[in-house]
Amino acid sequence: MLLANYIASLMCVVNTVLAIWPQPVEFEHGSEVFWLYPGFKVHYKFEEPTGILGILQSRLMPWWYERTISTLDQYSKDVLDAAVGRMHNDLISTSADSPSKVFVPWKFHPKDAIPEPGTVKYENTIYSITFLFRRPYTLQPQIEESYSLDISEEGHVLISIYHPLGGLQALTTFRQLFYKHSDPGEATSPYTPYIPLSIKDVPVFEHRGLNLDISRNIISPAEVMRNIEALAMNKFNRLHLHASDAQSWPFEIPALPELAVKGSYHKDQIWSVGDLHEVQNFGALRGIQVYLEIDMPGHTASIHAAYPDLIKSYNRQPWPNYSAQPCAGQLKLNNSAVTNLVTTLLDDLLPRTEPFSALFHLGGDEVDANAYDMSPSELTPYLQDFVDHAISKVHSHFLTPIVWEEHILDYNLTLPNDTIVQAWRARTPNGRSAVAEVVERGYKALFGTNEYWYLDCGFGGWRDPDLTNPDSPVKSPYLDYCSPLSNWRHVYSYDPLADIPESRQHLVLGGGEVHMWAEQTDGVNLDSNLWPRAAAAGEILWRGKGVVSEDVTRRLAEMREWLVAKGGWGRGRCRLRGV
């Protein structure tokens, strides 16, 4: 309730000129032009305890004051120093080979809506940025990412935060205030026409993620890290890597080396332990938790290459009778060798996950009872035992388990109270969204339905027709099951709380994810398939339900320009889809 009241108190000022994405909760600005000094300095200050409440807090939470009252801890310093450095590289050109990423804004606003200074007057210059660490007054996660950004009439910049993550979000906003002068000979520094300025901001949803499938097609660590940059620019804070599936096992597991050696497409397409660590650390420095999903017991046919005796119904035909996709095959249940494999696998992966995320995804979608020659009711007790064991391993490393909705909606399994259930179906047989069904049963839900947030939909089906069967359902125009393509306006129209009773909405405020499955996506078309549509989901995750308007279109167009300028998106082999 405290967070809800805080957000409601901020939602009072809306100005459609300031083209920030995601749009801050509250902002006001003037129209004076200021330039950013290329050698701007950064200072850190710490709020002293004041009043009876402040003194009590300092006594009750001395660890915080001991850590920060006089100097930054190493984590905070590393995160903020790296973020300031990235922002400097984006805004300031250091050489001809290292141009800035700012741009002339004329394409995205009505004529003269953003006045460009005719004469460069550097007396109006921002010389420094000050971070003020405020006293923590709540443990709610969203508050960690909250910030206020104030720029005075004299150009003094003050960023007030409770946690370094708030500093990251503030700098993401700050860089969007600046533009490039149309005459590069006239000005080498970026300018902002919005001074004085005041912004107060806090996310509505705690978990703001992208689910990226890196198993069905080849997506390299470098391609993932490039898109982590884009996620951070849009204030996402989770990257869910769907790390294994029926088609391939691309991750090195030192305790089970044969999994990747035999289960991957090729030895050159394996993520090493070092690759994963690099991606996790890259995300952490940008405020993004990178966590893994090992989908099981379904979608595990790739394990057959290394451990054929552990897979039931491998490549059984006709495959649609036994699996959602070829090749059929699921981990055997009630099998001690499978239990040992899962134990060894998780004992290897979980310690490598723990430093970077509090989450681990155990999959569980589309488990086909036919593959076990059982009915769903016959399969349920064996599936319950399998899931109980896997979740106990996750808990042993003090992590929070995530599973797909089928575990409770199709098999009615009983899960620990802390389990997060990821819901993907827009409609269940009951005619309601899977999110509504999940929270009705008392579980926390991650939203992101296939109807709105499956970004892989609409590119056509991946199956070929059966030429021996004149009644084959695969025929022209060869649409996929979730056509049409969700354009950015449709993505932006998604209301995660649409059919959720108010009494259950607290179970949804944990957040959601937009999805990119990789049947027809690889490193070549990944960027254009994701952006800028994923950005549309990013604003819903930050602010809550939105309304499509010309203002939204213009702001998203400007974010697209940032993505293009940042490097990688929209250039060379990858072209961003227009807005």
What would the pLDDT profile of 270-290 be if each residue is shown by its tens digit?
999 999 999 999 999 999 999
Per the structure block, which two tokens stand in for 354? 């723990």
Q: What is the pLDDT of residue 74?
A: 80
Measured distance CA(506)–CA(571) in Å, rounded: 42
Distance CA 561, CA 554 (A): 11
Number of other CB atoms surrounding residue 30 within 10 Å: 12
pLDDT of 54 reads 59
- The position carrying tokens 């082999």 is 573
Neighbouring C-alpha atoms within 13 Å toward the C-beta of 468: 0
- Residue whose entry in the numeric block shows the structure tokens 């499978």: 338
Beta partners for residue 42, in sequence order: 129
CA distance 507 to 299: 28
Report DSSP state, residue 271.
B
Phi and psi of 559, rounded to 5°? Answer: -60, -40
Token pair of 13 as six digits:
């000022």
Q: What is the DSSP string of 149-184?
A: EEE-TT--EEEEESSHHHHHHHHHHHHTT-B--S-T
User: Strand, coil or helix: what is 568?
Assistant: coil
Q: Give me the pLDDT at residue 162, please.
A: 92
Taking alpha carbons only, the member of 15, 23, 14, 17 closest to residue 559 is 23
Position 231, amino acid: L
- Identify the helix (H) or strand (E) that includes residue 55: helix 51-60
Q: Which residues pair with 211 in a beta bridge?
A: 240, 515
Q: What length does the chain have?
A: 579
- Alpha-carbon span 421 to 408, nearest angstrom: 8
Q: Which residues of the chain have pLDDT under 50?
A: 1-16, 64-70, 570-576, 578
| CB 191 within 8 Å of CB 36 | yes
Cα separation, 314 vs 295, whole angstroms: 16
* Residue 466: Cβ within 10 Å count: 12
Per the CB < 8 A criterion, the answer to whether 442 and 401 are in contact is: no
**Alpha-carbon gap, residue 443 to 208, rounded angstroms:** 18
Residue 467: its pLDDT value, please? 87
Amino acid making up residue 555:
R
Cβ-contact 515, 211 below 8 angstroms: yes
Sign of CA dihedral 556, 558, 564, 566: negative
Q: How would you class 17 by CB atoms within 10 Å of its CB: exposed for 0-12, middle for 13-18, buried for 19 or more?
A: middle
> Which strands form 359-361's sheet, in the order they lie side by side?
444-446, 420-422, 400-404, 359-361, 289-293, 238-242, 207-213, 511-516
Residue 566 is predicted with a pLDDT of 84
Contact 415, 387 (CB under 8 A): yes
Question: Helical H runs in 413-476?
Answer: 434-440, 450-453
The residues, any chain, with a CB within 8 Å of residue 74's CB and separated by 6 or more, are none
Enumerate long-range contacts of 322-327, CB under 8 Å, 24 or more apart.
322/368, 322/370, 322/371, 323/246, 323/298, 323/366, 323/368, 323/371, 324/298, 324/299, 324/366, 324/368, 325/246, 325/247, 325/299, 325/519, 326/246, 327/246, 327/247, 327/301
Four-residue CA torsion sign, 290, 296, 302, 303: positive
The beta-carbon contacts of 342-347 under 8 Å, at least 24 apart in sequence, are 342/296, 342/386, 342/389, 342/390, 342/393, 343/389, 343/393, 344/255, 344/256, 345/253, 345/255, 345/256, 345/259, 345/294, 346/294, 346/390, 346/393, 346/394, 347/255, 347/393
Query: Which one, of 233, 91, 229, lies nearest residue 173 by Cα?
Result: 233
Check if the beta carbon of residue 566 is closer than 8 Å to that of residue 228.
no
Kindly tell me the burial class for residue 430, based on how many C-beta atoms sit within 10 Å of its own C-beta (0-12, 13-18, 19 or more): exposed
Query: Could you give the C-alpha distances from 531 to 304, 456, 507, 538, 559, in angstroms and in order?
Result: 35, 12, 29, 11, 10
Q: Which residue has the tokens 């089906």?
A: 461
Contact at 8 Å (CB) between 579 and 556? yes
3-state secondary structure of 84: helix
Which residues are within 8 A (CB) of 195 and not within 5 positions of it... i.e. 6 or more apart? Answer: 29, 30, 31, 32, 33, 34, 124, 151, 152, 153, 155
Q: In this structure, what are the phi and psi dihedrals at residue 14, rounded to the nearest 5 degrees?
A: -130, 125
Task: Please name the residue that has the structure tokens 């076990």.
Answer: 372
The residue written with tokens 């990423």 in the block is 101
pLDDT at 14: 33
Which phi and psi angles does 407 have, rounded to 5°?
-55, -35
